[in-house]
Amino acid sequence: MQQLIDRIRRDGVVKPGNVLKVDSFLNHQMDIELINEIGKEFKRRFSDVDITKIVTIEASGIGIACIAAQYFHVPVVFAKKAKSVNIDGEVLTTQIESYTHKRVYDVIIAKKFISPKDRVLIIDDFLANGCALLGLIELVACAGASIEGIGIVIEKGFQSGGEVIREMGMRLESLAIVEGMDDKTGEVFFRNEV
């Protein structure tokens, strides 16, 4: 998605440790017009699938998922990062290691919000090593729902997540795939820049 790539080039900040900061337009301050175009693009790419629910993870995924959901006309369910897990049978739970915060979270989704009849689109802002996504996939699979697709705003193609997820046979659409970054010059290189 060229508009997104142009914006990453203009306003993205490359930090040491392969971290791309996009907090001026995507995951802190949010450019709603851009995110609206992102929502439309997800709808265009998944227009052939009948989605009943969008699943994401707090916090950064929520705003993006909500805007996309207006084009799919479905509810959004977000996995919550829980400090302590109440294992009372009413929640699905897994653990996710945060790439940016370097800590492990318990994440939960209430069982009642995803049923085996659901056809789910998972949406998130970043895909790096795939830990967040694998956790979400596990939660949706535990609910017995089918995963029809995964929409990612920025995939870091030089990290393993994308390959792992595609090898699982998942339909993964990333709107911008970063192939490399240089924290000295601030340059960002993209795959298939069209």
Task: List residues near ligand 5GP by CB under 6 A.
Answer: 19-22, 27, 60, 99-100, 124-133, 156, 161
Cis amide linkage into residue 145, ω under 30° from 0: no
- Least distance to ligand 5GP, CB of residue 163, Å: 12
Nearer to ligand 5GP, 52 or 125 (CB): 125
Nearer to ligand 5GP, 36 or 129 (CB): 129
Cross-sheet strand order for the sheet of 53-57: 91-97, 104-110, 76-82, 53-57, 119-127, 146-156, 172-181, 188-190
Nearer to ligand 5GP, 1 or 128 (CB): 128
- Least distance to ligand 5GP, CB of residue 133, Å: 6
Nearer to ligand 5GP, 21 or 111 (CB): 21
- Least distance to ligand 5GP, CB of residue 174, Å: 11
Nearer to ligand 5GP, 52 or 99 (CB): 99
- Least distance to ligand 5GP, CB of residue 50, Å: 26
Contact 159, 18 (CB under 8 A): yes
Catalogue the E-assigned strands of the chain: 13-15, 19-21, 53-57, 76-82, 91-97, 104-110, 119-127, 146-156, 172-181, 188-190
Name the phi and psi angles at 48, rounded to 5.
-85, -5
